[in-house]
Structure 1
């Protein structure tokens, strides 16, 4: 599409940084899956963790070359504030861009987005862009593109092998602490008793299995609180923990994209504890859909 003095090639620019590590993986993963499905290029110059994923940056439809000027970046940040959204959107539209600054769930019957993505540059500033159909259809490609560094995978494999020596069912426990003390007023900052109660429940759900629990946390773990169960405690980096959880047979923890991403990328059924005394049925453990 010709605008002013230059041509804008068709492309979707994933602008800005939203949330922590796995929030960013889900956001970009949906964009990449949509791009592969529809055949356009996606630009992720703002993705701050791209150095961890060399296969992602080698894909022919993914680029990380900065395309927006510093001034344009500042305009987009201002545009995230509701009073200025319309004005900033119109400024970019006058330059030949389309702007998506609201939550957007892609529908494959949506010809308007398809036309925009394949005929001009689209800037997506909102974190909540989702294409669940493509995200799951492109699982194999995403698994390759978002493969964690070899060292993290090696650490995880060693820990899981240790757990499998102790039992024939490995259940990952994501004891999310740290920032959860403040997030939503500490609603999901569960104490040891909540996790221990869930471990006891899972043991009862699987009487025919010898369950070993792999404990991962962003705070030190009190081993004595879980002495009644066969456990392996991770002391790895957050990347090692993520890889470890993705290699388990089941997962549970409070609502978190960290365990959600581990579930999706490892295709591991998981359960998010929305209450500290949760007692889910076995069929409530499901692979995260994205």
Structure 2
């Protein structure tokens, strides 16, 4: 059994576990996600064998007391052949680190990973009540602020004015269609009236869901826009939704600006 010690937030955890799950599938090893054993209860994986609090406690303290080995993947581009050998040789091992990456295997088993992270029915029903009756093009916008004031020196910390201008460029690309804009984010000071006042040609909603509801809603949109983040990336993964990562808030926007998950997940910041 490989116990996956996920760090960061929910979307990071999905990707981290997905990589190790894919490696385990390729080598006939069972895996278990520490975070999805107790912290995020909205997914199919949470109801599968081993994903429970008792298993979480066992793995946590077995690793802490060095009853099982721990291998770390903390350095980009390092040679991890020794760590992988430990994962093959030991019956139980605790695995952690952002650079436990096997992109080709992830893609090989992506459909299984998506099945594991299918949303519970209550989440899907909640989203259907918000997005299900809308006609036209549904644009999901993920606004990431908070820690992005420091991430990459604040490079992707965009103002409401900048987000509005990007949305306007998208609406101009679809001038003959109704554009519904669903805005999700982690900024409690978001100027909602500013968006409504400056996007009058669009239908604007702020769903205010929990993390899984927001992720699910974004996954059902026709297009996604946001600062580079794993949250919008994972949302795009579910239905291969075209995603535009804003790397320059002043850049022109066209169809080629939008990329797909299989490309973007190899280019995470």
Q: Structure 1 pair 98/191, CA: closer, same or farther in 2 (3 Å)?
A: closer
SS of 1:130's equivalent in the other structure is coil
Query: CA contact under 8 A between 2:3 and 2:32: conserved in structure 1?
Result: yes
Q: Structure 1 pair 73/262, CA: closer, same or farther in 2 (3 Å)?
A: same
Q: Look up the match of 2:74.
A: 102
1:191 to 159, 162, 175: 159
SS of 2:224's equivalent in the other structure is strand
Q: Look up the match of 1:202.
A: 170
Rg (Cα) greater in structure: 1
Would you say how many aligned residue pairs link Structure 1 and Structure 2?
253
Q: Look up the match of 2:219.
A: 246
- Counterparts of 1:34-183 in structure 2, within 5 Å, are 34-45=23-34, 47=36, 48-49=38-39, 51-55=41-45, 57-58=47-48, 65=55, 66-68=57-59, 70=61, 72-73=63-64, 97=69, 99-103=71-75, 116-120=86-90, 121-162=92-133, 164-165=134-135, 167=136, 169-183=137-151
Query: CA contact under 8 A between 1:171 and 1:213: conserved in structure 2?
Result: yes
Q: Look up the match of 1:12.
A: 2
Query: CA contact under 8 A between 2:2 and 2:94: conserved in structure 1?
Result: yes
Distance 1:270 1:204 in 2: 17
Alpha-carbon shift at residue 178 of structure 1 (Å): 3.5
1:261 to 224, 228, 234: 234
Distance 2:147 2:84 in 1: 39
Query: CA contact under 8 A between 2:4 and 2:95: conserved in structure 1?
Result: yes
Q: Deviations over 1:195-234 (max 9, x none)?
A: 1111121123334543222222223442343333312312
Alpha-carbon shift at residue 58 of structure 1 (Å): 2.1
- Counterparts of 1:23-34 in structure 2, within 5 Å, are 23-34=12-23
Distance 1:173 1:102 in 2: 31
Q: Deviations over 1:49-74 (max 9, x none)?
A: 35433445526xx6662554637427
Q: Structure 1 pair 253/98, CA: closer, same or farther in 2 (3 Å)?
A: closer
Distance 1:26 1:193 in 2: 31
TM-score (norm 2): 0.79
More off after superposition, 96-105 vs 141-150: 96-105
Ranges in structure 1 where 5+ consecutive residues have no aligned partner: 1-10, 75-91
Ranges in structure 2 where 5+ consecutive residues have no aligned partner: none
Q: Look up the match of 2:260.
A: 287
Query: CA contact under 8 A between 1:104 and 1:129: conserved in structure 2?
Result: no
Distance 1:71 1:122 in 2: 10
TM-score (norm 1): 0.74
Q: Look up the match of 2:201.
A: 229
- Counterparts of 1:205-220 in structure 2, within 5 Å, are 205-218=173-186, 219=188, 220=190
